[in-house]
Structure 1
Amino acid sequence: MESEQTEKDNKKTAESNQKKREKQSDSPDLSPDEDYIPYVPIKRRREKKLQRLVSQRDNRQEQKQSENEEEAEDDYVAGPKAHVSLIDQAVEVKKQKAIEDSAKTDAQKKLEEEKAIMEAVAQRKLLASDRELAKGIIYTEPMKTTWKPPRYILEKSEKDHDNVRQKYHIYVDGEDIPPPIKDFKSMKFPRAILNFLKSKGISKPTPIQLQGLPVALAGRDMIGIAFTGSGKTLAFSLPLVMRALEEEKKLPLVRGEGPIGMIVCPSRELARQTYDSICSMIEHLILDGYPKLRTLLCIGGISMADQWHTLADGIHIVVATPGRLMDMLEKKKFNLDLCKYLCLDEADRMIDMGFEDDVRNIMSYFTSQRQTVLYSATMPKKIQNFAQSALVKPVIINVGRAGAANLDVIQEVEYVKQEAKVVYLLECLQKTPPPVLIFAENKNDVDDIHEYLLLKGVEAVAIHGGKTSVFYHKQPGSKSKYSSQEEREFAIRAFKEYKKDVLVASDVASKGLDFADIQHVINYDMPKEIENYVHRIGRTGRSGRTGVATTFINMNCSEQILLDLKHLLKEAKQRVPPVLEALEDPLEKFKDLTGGCTFCGGLGHRITACPKLDAQRKQQLGNLSRSGGGIGGDY
């Protein structure tokens, strides 16, 4: 019986456990007291964890935002004009600005307006190569050279150097400026160079050479400004010859190498004159036993085949005009890998003549740092800013005011009617003995004056930029076989050799050409820009000599240029004719403002009324309209 009862109990227990297992399989949810934990796939567990983290982040952000809002509500204080509408506040601001403007003087308003204009016309590109601009290469230290001033010069105090500069009216600006040196021997030039200077009648340096030569020899970038005829050519060509000579003695150049340095000029005649001067220096060096330096003249109108021997042997110095130089570089006749010296002669005139893009393109051929030197008689602020953008710690040397007339020139201004000017020329030619230089603005006027003088028996030659191959010797109408460039060179050479008494020229002859013995310059008409007038009259009164400049004016001249001329005469303490004195000067109400136009350098107007800037704007608009420019364009 007991066994049967035991079997029944076991059977009931088994049935009870079976029912429990079936119940658990039907309902997987377990109570907290049970130990069983169901399996959850890893994907679901990750999703739940991600949702939990996102929820926690959102909660923290909401909590932080609510705290910030509470702090802002605690700190917020309504402003004094919270109840005033925005329109009324804007009206109040305008009234306040009007009161401030009324408190400013006319001079202050004028200066603010001029500053805005100068910023608008500021150069957008640097005077640097494309490689340097692309890679962001910026040179912070000037180039080093082996030249050093003598010890006795270095031992002098800065006050002594300033006294020398003040004595010669030299104004300098820059860091660590080399000291001025008052004699060529102390500048450590070789005996051959001293003999060359002696043969030219040069015994001591001029003010621009006194300070400019030590700066250039020391390898510093510089801007040199001095009146015409002050010896700027020697100040930038002599350091280049010395550098080329040093490089040749260290390691002679071979075929395909060079140049060591380069001088870029705005006109062919000026480039030829600079080239001839450098060749004279080199000849004296050769006579004294120094190695030969090869110089290449790179200008339009001459055959480069004649100078092929120079290119074949390697060149030390290149004297060039921008157009032909660009052509030679593009054709890879030579490269600028070794070029360490670049001089832009008459830099402002070059840019005004439209060579700015060519200059920038030339810079793209440089592969390393170079010493950059700029010289001119007229260097407006605009050009100085353009140059300083790329020069490394430049030294600015100014002898007198930039754009000032040479004080050794007696300026005579005469009112002559347009139809009487040609006849009156003969009377003006009687003022001084030949040679005489006559300038005309128009190329046709150059030809007309030339032919008139020939008919009157005057020995005259003529040059201008667009001169054809028609060439007059003594009889009008007689043609010659000369090319245009040969004709221009013949005219310059004949005039310099005193074979001709009068040279009639356009402004192509006003830029830097050196005619040592000219006593009289006649301006047949007043140029459109005062800078051209300064360059024209600077052809006389050179190297300390006295000269005369006669200028014809009449009603055809613009009032703006006449006002510039009036102020220029007053600055030079020259006689101002009654016709100029009678002109009403709009700058009278701005007596507090010193100086003139910062764009062109004219003293009779400010940049707000600059005719040169206005002409450039009109030209740009004309180019824009001709090229489409979006003006009324069709789609």
Structure 2
Amino acid sequence: MLHGSARQRRIEAAAEEEAKQKKTLIQQYAEEQEQREKDGPLDQKMIAVNEEKDLLKSLQERQSRLASVHELSKDIIYTDPMTSSWIPPRYLREMPEDERNKLRSKYNILTDGENIPPPVIRFIDFKLPQPIMNIMKKKKIMRPTPIQIQALSCALAGRDLIGIAYTGSGKTLVFALPAIMQALEEELQMPVIPSEGPFSLILCPSRELANQTFEVISEFAEGLRKADYPQLRVSLCIGGITLNMELIKQGPHIVVATPGRLLSCLKRKDFTLEFCKLVCLDEADRMFDLTFEEDVRNIFNFFKRQRQTLLFSATMPRKVQDFIKNSLVKPIIVNTGRTGAANMDVIQEVELVKQEAKMVYLLQVLQKTAPPVLIFCENKQDVDNINEYLLRKGVLSCSIHGGKEQKDREDAIKDFKAGKKDVLVATDVASKGLDFPDIQHVINYDMPREIENYIHRIGRTGRSNRTGVATTFINKTCTDSILLDLKHLLIESKQSIPPVLMSIPDPFDSFAVVDGTIGCAFCGGLGHRVIDCPKLAQNSRKAITATGHEDQKSGGGSDW
């Protein structure tokens, strides 16, 4: 009995101590809450900003620089940029820096870097071979665009480059021409032999974009051959097609590829990157998503020496810029538009449409402009359903998405470009970099989950200084975060803001006052902060589940 009483007293004492501890915790929380209220809203913002800085710092610490295992293991860091035989005309070399800056200002070109080559406003001053000049004249490419004025001279001079420009700005020529000139110079000095090559490598995130780039370069290469220049062999390395092994065995001068297929070829030793002196990543923002980043890093393991690196995109968030700058050698940044801004030549219209009413309303919206029209959807099933619906209604439409066979995708794009089809229905596989020069109207059947994809989508219209229209359907399925991004983008682009967007409260409006950063430092969206970034959250989920984007042909973005 005595023992029982002692045990009971110990139990009561423990319960009393536990209650005391609980009370202390509650009091502690109350004291912290009271202190937060005393600190005021500005201190709260500072706390949030510091949390963001810690988050970005941890993200940067996880990323090693873009280099081969050989370079990382031996701590090889290149300090001097590559050089080339190209030099600008004397009058440009002797142009004072203030005159150069006036030219850049005239064409709305922003630059950052050391020893930046002069802007060049005439194609003749790039000293390109006459056959190339003839092809550009035939294509009615008479004057360089702003991105070409500054970035092309940098690329031809051998400098590492980050090019940021609106979709449709002509950035393809900025990497295509230096790749051709690099390959031509190597071939003239010492002809390539079997097992050598490529000298230039161009990576694209989708088969369609890679095929388009391949066609551009092949046309220039064929023009040179017809004018008795050495034949440059250009290889297309993408999923869904049979590789030209005969050409590969002869040694390609230039390879245009998607990451997954290229990595497979490198592992099989179909060709080597030992002699590659130029690598370009088109749509670089996509290349550094989790979808492709692992493949890109593995590809860089095959480089044996220093190379010139060119990166281009319409969107380049600050976080990606900082990462890339640490991986390149004294890079030059050429910016002809805010990183992640929309094309000012596009009239953006946003309409509130119930989910169940979108299909029927689509027919009405199609009447806004003459064809050709692009319709974008988030998933493959909607693409198929909309295409079938439009065909039943007598609309000449076709469709592409990652689930279709390569030949079907190519045929759809070919028919659409040729004017045989008035409407192309697509997932985002068609929004990145593809060249549809005469698109009148882009319809976002679904608001994309990330504002970057919205910018890429509407960039299909309003090209070459022509005005285009973009119509976007929104409803209650859209998150406040993406709608706030859209609202801020419309404000920046001086577009009409629908009442439904104006009514959404913005909890981050005043954060820029604290740290000077506008929007998200991770994805570039203007309507949220990095701490609340949907893309960062999605990337984290991908890292955990190790699954790729639904529109990729295989996990990890291999794009087979």
* Fold match by TM threshold 0.5: yes
Q: Is the partner of 1:589 in helix, strand or coil?
A: coil
1:558 pairs with 2:558: no
Aligned to 1:533: 454
Whole-angstrom distance in 1 between the partners of 2:477 and 2:385: 19
Answer whether contact 1:179 1:211 (CA < 8 A) is retained.
yes
CA contact (8 A) 2:484 2:527 kept: yes
- State the distance in 2 between where 1:186 and 1:619 align: 47
**Native 8 Å contact 2:353 2:475 kept in 1:** yes
Is 2:290–2:542's contact at 8 Å kept on the other side of the alignment? no
TM-score by length of 1: 0.78
Letter in 1 for 2:235: L
Q: CA deviation at 1:622?
A: 4.3
SS of 1:574 mapped into structure 2? coil
Q: Which runs of 5+ in 1 are unaligned?
A: 1-93, 468-483, 625-635
Residue 569 (1) aligns with residue 490 (2): yes
Worse-superposed segment, 418-427 or 383-392: 383-392
> Bigger CA drift: 113-122 or 354-363?
113-122
Distance in 2 (CA, whole Å) between partners of 1:99 and 1:419 is: 45
Matched, 1:596 2:519: yes
Structure 2: give runs of 5+ residues left out of the alignment. Answer: 1-31, 548-560
Question: Is it true that 1:505 corresponds to 2:426 in the alignment?
Answer: yes
Cα distance in 2 between the residues matched to 1:347 and 1:580: 30
**2:541 corresponds to which residue?**
618
CA deviations 1:564-620 (Å, max 9, x no partner) are 000000000000011111111112333524421010110011112111112222333
Q: Which of these residues, 542, 549, 556, is aligned with residue 470 of structure 2?
A: 549
In structure 2, distance between residues paired with 1:142 and 1:458: 54
Given that 1:213 and 1:235 are in contact with CA atoms closer than 8 Å, whether structure 2 keeps it comes out as: yes
Write the letter of the residue equivalent to 1:556. T
Percent identity between matched residues is 59
Query: What is the deviation of 1:459?
Result: 1.0
- The match for 2:58 is 120
Equivalent in the alignment of 1:424: 361
AA at the equivalent of 1:590: F
1:149 alignment partner AA: P
**Alignment match, 1:250:** 189
In structure 2, which of residues 134, 142, 149 is the aligned counterpart of residue 210 of structure 1? 149
Of 184, 189, 198, which aligns to 2:128?
189
Among 352, 374, 386, the alignment partner of 1:415 is 352
Describe the shift of the 1:134–1:418 C-alpha distance in structure 2 as closer, same or farther (beyond 3 A): same
Q: Which amino acid aligns with 2:188?
A: K
Question: Which of 324, 336, 339 is equivalent to 1:402?
Answer: 339
Say whether 1:582 aligns with 2:521.
no
**Correspondence for 2:219:** 280
In the alignment, is the contact (CA less than 8 A) between 1:263 and 1:344 conserved in 2?
A: yes
The residue that corresponds to 1:55 in the other structure is none
Contact map agreement 1:129 1:366 (CA 8 A) in 2: yes
Larger Rg belongs to: 1
Q: Tell me which amino acid in the other structure corresponds to 2:318.
A: K
CA contact (8 A) 1:164 1:180 kept: yes
Instruction: Please state how far the C-alpha of 1:335 moved relative to its aligned partner.
Output: 0.5
In 2, Cα distance between equivalents of 1:557 and 1:104: 30
- Match of 2:266, SS? helix
Alpha-carbon shift at residue 100 of structure 1 (Å): 12
Of 591-600 and 453-462, deviating more is 591-600
Structure 2 contact 290–543 (Cα < 8 Å) conserved: no
Matched-pair contact (CA < 8 Å) for 1:106–1:590: no
Shift of residue 189, structure 1, vs aligned partner: 1.0
Alignment partners' CA distance in 2, 1:431 and 1:124:
46
Paired amino acid for 1:580? L
Instruction: Give 2:275's aligned residue.
Output: 338
Deviates more, 1:401-410 or 1:191-200: 191-200
8 A Cα contact 2:36 2:44, kept in partner: no
**One-letter amino acid matched to 1:444:** Q
Structure 1 residue 104 displacement after superposition: 6.0
The 1:113–1:100 alpha-carbon spacing in structure 2 relative to 1, beyond 3 Å, is farther
Distance 1:152 1:107, change over 3 A: farther
1:7-22 alignment to 2 at 5 Å? none
Task: Give how far 1:103 is off.
Answer: 10
Partner of 1:383: 320
CA distance in 1 between partners of 2:290 and 2:134 (Å): 37
C-alpha distance in 2 between matches for 1:623 and 1:504: 29
Alignment of 1:155 with 2:94, yes or no, is yes
Q: Judging changes above 3 Å, is the alpha-carbon distance between structure 1 residues 309 and 528 closer, same or farther for their aligned structure 2 residues?
A: same
Contact 2:290 2:539 in 1 (8 A): no
CA shift, 1:350, in A, is: 2.1
Following superposition, the deviation at residue 318 of structure 1 comes to 0.1
Aligned pairs for 1:25-40 (under 5 A) are none
Distance 1:100 1:185, change over 3 A: farther
Shift of 1:387: 1.4
Q: Identify which range, 270-279 or 285-294, moves more after superposition.
A: 285-294
Q: Identify if the C-alpha distance between structure 1 residues 332 and 596 changes in structure 2 by more than 3 Å, giving closer, same or farther.
A: same
Map 1:62-211; keep pairs closer than 5 Å.
105=43, 107-122=45-60, 123-211=62-150
Residue 147 of structure 2 contacts residue 170 of structure 2 at CA under 8 Å; is this kept in 1? yes
- Give 1:112 shift: 2.4
Listed one character per residue, the Cα deviations across residues 421-452 of structure 1 (whole Å, up to 9, x for unaligned) are 11111111111111111000011100100100
Q: 2:252 aligns with which of 310, 315, 324?
A: 315
SS of 1:586's equivalent in the other structure is coil
SS in 1 for 2:488: helix
Deviates more, 1:111-120 or 1:390-399: 111-120
**Distance in 2 (alpha carbons) for counterparts of 1:529 and 1:500:** 29
Looking at structure 1, the residues matched to 512 and 268 of structure 2 have their Cα atoms a distance apart, in angstroms, of 55
SS in 2 for 1:153: helix
Task: Tell me the distance in 2 between the aligned counterparts of 1:134 and 1:200.
Answer: 47
The amino acid of 2:132's aligned partner reads I
C-alpha distance in 2 between matches for 1:285 and 1:619 = 45
The aligned amino acid for 1:252 is P
What RMSD, in angstroms, separates the aligned Cα atoms of the two structures? 1.8
Deviations 1:530-567, CA, capped at 9 Å, x for gaps: 00000000011112211100000111111110010000
Question: In structure 2, do the counterparts of structure 1 residues 146 and 100 end up closer, same or farther at CA, with 3 Å as the change threshold?
Answer: farther
Q: State how far apart, in whole Å, the 2-side matches of 1:135 and 1:171 are.
A: 36
What displacement does 1:115 show? 1.4
Distance 1:353 1:423 in 2: 36
Residues 536, 103 of structure 1: alpha-carbon distance in 2 compared, 3 angstrom cutoff:
closer
> Are residues 1:302 and 2:302 paired?
no
Q: Distance in 1 between matches of 2:188 and 2:81?
A: 23
CA distance change for structure 1 residues 320 and 518 in 2, over 3 Å: closer, same or farther? same
Deviation at 1:101, TM superposition (A): 6.8
Cα distance in 2 for residues equivalent to 1:118 and 1:280: 44
- What's the secondary structure of 2:255's corresponding residue? strand
For residue 429 of structure 1, give the secondary structure of its aligned residue in structure 2: helix
Greater relative contact order (Cα 8 A, min sep 6): structure 1 or 2?
Answer: 2
Residues paired across the two proteins, number:
511
Instruction: Summarize the Cα distance change of 1:157–1:461 in structure 2 as closer, same or farther, 3 Å threshold.
Output: same
In the alignment, which residue of structure 2 is the partner of 1:86?
A: none
Deviation at residue 254 of structure 1 after TM alignment:
1.5
